């Protein structure tokens, strides 16, 4: 991801199906049959993606909810979003 992530939102790949649980999220990529699992913070980021929030909006929510610095929330969210994108679970969309 570039440093221009604030100009993007993300959309869920139609082949990705998520199941939420008390301890996080499990995502199935129906196209390749792979399962991905994450903790509750990953589930929160996924919900932000479903709502087509920008990276900065997701970072703000995480920073407020977990009372951590925005820089820390941005670092972790960016890393997670990069992994989701690399595994074709999400796509990047330019904000209008």
> What is the CATH number that goes with domain 5-94?
3.90.930.60
Q: What is the pLDDT of residues 24-43, one digit of tens each?
A: 999 999 999 999 999 999 99
pTM over 0.75: yes
Report the sign of the C-alpha dihedral through residues 34, 28, 56, 8, in that order. Answer: positive
pLDDT reading at 94 higher than 90:
no
Distance CA 4, CA 72 (A): 17
Which H or E run includes 53? none
Q: What is the pLDDT of residues 77-91, one digit of tens each?
A: 999 999 999 999 999
């Amino acid at each position: 991801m570039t440093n221009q992530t604030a100009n993007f939102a993300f959309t869920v790949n139609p082949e990705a199906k998520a199941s939420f649980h008390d301890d996080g999220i499990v995502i199935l990529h129906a196209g390749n049959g792979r399962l991905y699992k994450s903790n509750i913070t990953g589930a929160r980021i996924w919900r932000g993606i479903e709502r087509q929030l920008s990276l900065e909006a997701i970072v703000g929510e995480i920073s407020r909810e977990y009372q951590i610095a925005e820089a820390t929330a941005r670092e972790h969210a960016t890393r997670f979003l990069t992994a989701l994108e690399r595994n074709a679970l999400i796509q990047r969309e330019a904000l209008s």
